[in-house]
Structure 1
Amino acid sequence: MTRVKQLSMNHFVTQREGNIVSDMGNEKVMLNIENGKYYNLGTTGGEMWELIAAPIVVSEVVTKIMTKYDVNKEQCEEEVLSFLAHMYEEKLVQVTTQK
């Protein structure tokens, strides 16, 4: 798999295997089996995690988050890209240029 240098709105993203995810109140928490780290995805991060269960283009994740929350497009794009880029750096998600 080719490494993406910078995540963009046109990339497709999906969950990687090897993560145990659980609901804790209104938030999702995750344990990555490979690296042994725990992650608190929070409420919005948990919603994004559910959205990427199957390959989805990043711009669609932004659109779906915007319909649920009162947030402007620029801020939503920045936050979604930042969250997904961090998940990619931690090897929790896969990123491709096509479905």
Structure 2
Amino acid sequence: MMKNDVVSVSQKNVFVQSQGNIVSDMGGEKVMLSIHNGKYYNLGEIGGRIWELLAEPSEVAQIISLLMAEYDVEQQECEQEVITFIERLSKEGLIEFGEDHGHL
């Protein structure tokens, strides 16, 4: 989890999926079981898409840009929803704060 638990578009925060989660597609929505905390999560359609994007280290701004290109959504609404979702995933220990190693 991040030091201050605050996610921002302007910061270059990079997140990636944590290990130990089993994810399945159920009727177009992603559902997940966390082996670490024994909880089930329904990520939904868009949450499932964010989860897919987090398979590789990703910045919040990158995720927002991709979602805006894929869905008919206003930027402010997309930013708020993505930030809230990422904060929840982080709080539950489902994603990790990390570094983007893709540019090496």
Q: TM-score, normalised by structure 1?
A: 0.93
Q: Which runs of 5+ in 1 are unaligned?
A: none
Give runs of ≥4 in structure 1 deviating > 6 Å: none
Task: Give the aligned partner of residue 20 of structure 1.
Answer: 22
Q: State how far apart, in whole Å, the 1-side matches of 2:50 and 2:16 are.
A: 10
- Corresponding residue of 1:40: 42
Which residue number in structure 1 is paired with residue 65 of structure 2? 63
Question: Residue type of the partner of 2:22?
Answer: I
Root-mean-square deviation (Å): 1.1
Alpha-carbon distance, 1:4 to partner: 3.0
| 1:54 counterpart residue number | 56
Contact 1:4/1:95 (8 A) holds in 2: no
Sequence identity, in percent? 44
Q: Using the alignment, how far apart are the partners of 1:3 and 1:86 within structure 2?
A: 12
1:10-52 CA distance string (max 9 Å, x none): 2101000000000001000000001100000000000000001
Distance 2:58 2:18 in 1: 13
Per the normalisation by structure 2, the TM-score is: 0.89
Q: Structure 2 stretches of 5 or more lacking a match?
A: none
Which residue pairs with 2:3 in the alignment?
Answer: 4
Cα distance in 2 between the residues matched to 1:81 and 1:3: 13
Taking the aligned partners of 2:78 and 2:96, their CA distance within structure 1 comes to 21
Q: Does 1:84 align with 2:83?
A: no
Structure 2 partner of 1:95? 97
Aligned residues: 97
Shift in Å, 1:95: 1.5
